Amino acid sequence: MEFKFKTKYSKEERTKDFEELQRKHPNKYPIVFEKMPNTNFEDLNKEKYLIDPELSFRQVNYFVKGKLSVDDEHKNLRFFIDGKTPIKSNENVKDIYDKYKQNDGFLYLGFDFKPKKNSMKKNYIFICFCLIIIILIGFLMKFLLKKK
C-alpha cells in the first residue's frame, strides 16, 4: 500500500517530525493511519496520531471509530501493518510498534471495515422471520378463501 503521508513528506521531513514528536511526547508512539485503497468511507481528519503504547488494538479500534463517527453495531474496523499484514485486536501498540516501525520512526497502518458477523446473522434471522410470516399469511389467505 502506498501511504500518502510518505509521498507528501520526504524521509528527512518525516524523521525530523518524528524526532520533534518524541521530544515533546516521549511516552507516546506516532502512528500514521490511512484507509485502505478501494474503500468508500471518509478519511480521518489528520494522518498521524500519538498513541499510548499500552493500548490494545481493540482500544485503538474504538479511538479511530470515534474519529470517523462509525456505527459500532454494523462495522468492524481492521488494521493492517503497511497495508498488508492484519493485526489482531488483542495485540498491544508497543509490541506492534517495536516490531514494525519504519526507519523514519513512524508506524504505518492501513485500515478498513467489514460487516460484523453478528450483524449478518441478525439480518439472516430477520429475513427468515419475514419469509415465515409471508408463508403463514399465504396459508391464512388460502384457508379464508376456501371458507367463502
Q: pLDDT for 68-126, tens place per residue?
A: 866 655 467 889 998 889 999 899 999 999 999 999 999 999 998 875 665 556 667 77
Same domain, yes or no: 111 and 127:
no
Same domain, yes or no: 109 and 125:
no
Distance CA 76, CA 65 (A): 9
Distance CA 89, CA 117 (A): 16
Same domain, yes or no: 95 and 124:
no
Number of domains in the chain: 2
Range of the domain at 139: 116-148
pTM of the model: 0.74
Q: How many helices (H) and strands (E) does the chain have?
A: 5, 5
Same domain, yes or no: 108 and 91:
yes
Same domain, yes or no: 66 and 110:
yes
